[in-house]
Amino acid sequence: MSKKPEPDSFVTEITPRSQDFSKWYLDVVRRAELADYSPVKGCMVIRPYGYAMWELIQQAFDAEFKRTGHVNAYFPLFIPESLLNKETEHVEGFAPQVAYVTHGGGEKLEERLVVRPTSEAIIGYMYANWIQSWRDLPILINQWVNIVRWEKVTRPFLRTTEFLWQEGHTAHETHDEAQAETLMILDLYASTTERVLAMPVIKGQKSDSEKFAGALRTYSIEALMGDGRALQAGTSHNLGQNFAKAFDITFQARDKSVQHVWGTSWGVSTRLIGGVIMTHGDDSGLVLPPNVAPYQVVIVPIGRHNWRETVLPRAQEIRAELAAAGIRVTLDERDERPGWKFAEWELRGVPLRLELGPKDIEKSAVLIARRDTREKLGVPMDGLAVRVRALLDEVQNNLFARAVKFRDEHTQRVATYEEFKQILEGRPGFVIAPWCGSSDCEARIKTDTQATIRNMPMGATGAAPSGGCVRCDNPAIAEAWFAKAY
Ligand SMILES: [Zn+2]
């Protein structure tokens, strides 16, 4: 007998963030209608509101990829098992999470097919056919696809068995070109995440134990969530010649010698939506940066029983005016109390709420409520679109500044291992400490504190190590940023 899930109308409140962050997150995901559980274990349904956010994220990143010379393509979902097995480290890294297709068309397959956990293998195979000469290089291809990695513990957007992402795969003549591409993408990821999602990130290199299976070097962007845990928000890998050697991707170089290409791969996923929720949300629900808000403005008509006659026509005109100015706007015409509508749109994180009643129309003004500060402002209807656009920019900038402040307030540097362990008993955010480079040391730190090295920043953020490793006191190779992570 099948049991139908209870309608979740009983979920009238959201668990306060401070009380139970994890439950708060799940409440927000479901009540804001971003995603829902599905009958397939570990797989979520992305609902239209959540998918609209994904489309905005996609558009922003896709424009950046194209601006930097990349093109989109599509490779198959299925990968012959023998292909995945060609790069040893790669297959060892992914084997525990791989799903196989064993039957098709009512028959057992001669060779099992892997459902892509990532596409280096199938793309490497194709590149071997496509690349002959240095004139064919570089190849700069991206694809927007779904991925399957069998997960034991799942959480919507953060870790699901199937998820959506983009994966870029490039091939170059030299190591230095591949390295430049890897770091260019890391910069692109960081700036786009900060500009569009208002989510500040730390750019840096991963330790060997955290690098991508089969890569020479992995770099990541790491963000800090509202509960003090870090989120890896994107990765960029210099693959060296590992995949080129496994898949025999060679080219005739300018000096006529035959060489293996140098590769990179890089990805961001629907995980970014989880990052937005946990960076900006509050006890009332989602708080969306205008650049990823499906609706940047909601218009709520206020009035007595006859509001449809008195207020609605003017509200429709305002909607049209804002839409014509390129603002994503919706008009809530439902027969519900305004107070109920306010709570609903707050929960769904709409940056600006525009209230319009008979008195406002008389005064030729509207009332605008900001979701981020809850400030209310009277704004004249004359020049409304310009004012709304400016307010949206203010909200976007304020959310970013607020997140930077939170991140900085939750980042500290420690000197001794005692202090390190003590601080990590809570959920302090980032802890910066010198590290010796030994994976044994790193593993011991994880056992003692549950914290992992998120990355080792480069450039201005990455200070030269001072003193010895925080745990073993051997000479340090880097200042590492540690945190408990999603
Ligand atoms: Zn050490």
Q: pLDDT tens digits for 353-398?
A: 999 999 999 999 999 999 999 999 999 999 999 999 999 999 999 9
Distance (Å) from CA 210 to ligand 1 centroid: 16
pLDDT exceeds 60 at position 2: no
Distance (Å) from CA 291 to ligand 1 centroid: 42
β pairing state of 297-301 and 329-331: parallel
Total-model pTM = 0.94
Decide if 92 contacts 109 (C-beta within 8 A). no
Distance (Å) from CA 463 to ligand 1 centroid: 18
Q: Would you give the DSSP letter of residue 264?
A: E
Distance (Å) from CA 428 to ligand 1 centroid: 21
The first and second tokens of residue 448, run together, are 């003692």
Q: How far apart are the C-alpha atoms of 293 and 399, rounded to whole Å?
A: 13
Distance (Å) from CA 444 to ligand 1 centroid: 9
Distance (Å) from CA 410 to ligand 1 centroid: 24
Please report the beta strands in 337-429, taking only residues with DSSP state E, as ranges in sequence order. Answer: 352-356, 365-370, 376-380, 411-413
Distance (Å) from CA 480 to ligand 1 centroid: 11
Contacts of 29 (CB under 8 A, 6+ apart): 35, 50, 156, 157, 277
Residue 261 one-letter amino acid = V
- Residues above pLDDT 90, as percent of the chain: 88
pLDDT confidence bin for 249, thresholds 50/70/90? very high
Distance (Å) from CA 207 to ligand 1 centroid: 13
Map residue 13 onto helix, strand or coil. coil
- Helices of type H across 155-237: 175-197
Distance (Å) from CA 435 to ligand 1 centroid: 5
Distance (Å) from CA 240 to ligand 1 centroid: 27
Decide if 474 contacts 436 (C-beta within 8 A). yes
Average confidence (pLDDT) over 190-202: 98
Distance (Å) from CA 473 to ligand 1 centroid: 6
The first and second tokens of residue 473, run together, are 């006191």
Chain segment 204-234, per-residue pLDDT in tens:
999 999 998 889 999 999 999 999 999 999 9
Q: How far apart are the C-alpha atoms of 115 and 308, rounded to whole Å?
A: 53
β pairing state of 478-483 and 430-435: antiparallel
Distance (Å) from CA 450 to ligand 1 centroid: 16
Distance (Å) from CA 187 to ligand 1 centroid: 29
Distance (Å) from CA 474 to ligand 1 centroid: 6
Question: Which pLDDT value is given to residue 459?
Answer: 64
- Residues above pLDDT 70, as percent of the chain: 97
Distance (Å) from CA 451 to ligand 1 centroid: 14
Distance (Å) from CA 222 to ligand 1 centroid: 22
Distance (Å) from CA 457 to ligand 1 centroid: 18
Cα→Cα distances 48→58, 201, 268, Å: 15, 27, 20
Distance (Å) from CA 477 to ligand 1 centroid: 9
Q: How far apart are the C-alpha atoms of 86 and 315, rounded to whole Å?
A: 62
Distance (Å) from CA 264 to ligand 1 centroid: 30
Q: Would you give the DSSP letter of residue 155?
A: B
Q: How far apart are the C-alpha atoms of 91 and 82, rounded to whole Å?
A: 10
Q: At what angle do helices 21-31 and 271-280 cross, to 10 degrees?
A: 110
Distance (Å) from CA 437 to ligand 1 centroid: 7
Chain segment 430-462, per-residue pLDDT in tens:
999 999 999 999 999 999 999 999 999 986 566
Q: Which residues pair with 435 in a beta bridge?
A: 478
Question: Which pLDDT value is given to residue 462?
Answer: 63
Judged by average pLDDT, the poorest of 76-90, 161-175, 192-206, 431-445 is: 76-90
Residue 377 one-letter amino acid = L
Q: How far apart are the C-alpha atoms of 353 and 287, rounded to whole Å?
A: 12
Distance (Å) from CA 442 to ligand 1 centroid: 7
What's the number of CA atoms in the CB half-sphere (13 Å) around residue 38?
A: 14
